[in-house]
Chains A and B, each alone.
Chain A
């Protein structure tokens, strides 16, 4: 009987150098056939054409801490515009001595967001913490209590305003959207048609028309002598708009709940509200968490539209910096900086949404 032993030399044989390591990776990922090779070369050529001049402009010739006049002399990017105006861009007309308040409010918000990122910490208490947090943030911004000087909301601006409009917008729009979604599924025709008309109308028109409405028409709706401040009116428009989109997302969740769940709840003797609160909504809302986050993202981006009705959100403060003669003509730098701010916020939310989607997949 012959015993076959593995031959020593063969076990030690390595794959050819061209198919492993960096070389192998380059070959299989960039040059695996003729048109991919061509594509890679063309892209590399383009990158070489575009990236070094950009770095030249942005970094090597860039001005980081100069005056506007010096910037106008230079050929490079003028990042000094941000450095010199960061206070105004971030906080608008908020009194400089009270600036710590919006800063603290924003920190609070970011802390809450960070905590909520981890799903293991989701509980009733976190919900209460959010509610308390929102109240504290409002108090910090508004003042007038506990010895804080009151700051008129006309002076609110910059990043805090953007965040307030989107966070309060979604917080209020969410329950409203859930109610609208329930209305759309209702067995009562009058309720169903009212909500359908509302949802489809809002989704059919651009947000800007609602903002115009809040700015121009809404004052006409109120009896003589009653005025509501501009930020709240815009906030209401954003809430109405977002709620219609939330409603459609939640409806998707409601439709995904099998009929047996409703029947089981009924056979237990639960009434409509009990069925919804205890059986249907907890399941439906869980399914729609990822699309809800993407609504949050677009609500956050859409708050930039309040520029058109002249509210000083972070986009408007940047724009008014640009109309200062000293800094005129550096719009690219300023907008790139702003794009970075928006990108960081949205990227944070969208990676979170992707993570959630993976976790919730059951």
Chain B
């Protein structure tokens, strides 16, 4: 049974798609956070500019990092709940014998 699962196209594409999504989102998260940190280190003036009354650029950017962080996990969970779980149950039914 093991070999049948491992050699099946379905399982291979499942692993590939999941790893791709995880990798892309991880890189996106690293980019967002370390981008923010490096912006702070190298261009404080930009973040300190006022855009609306007393509100500086840094405030929506900082809050934005928090919201984006949450959105990225949301994208991952939505994809997994919809696509990934469906593929898993297909594989289970076809190859494991519908445990």
Mutual binders A and B:
no
Contact surface of B with A, Cβ cutoff 8 Å: none
By a beta-carbon cutoff of 8 Å, the part of chain A in contact with chain B is none
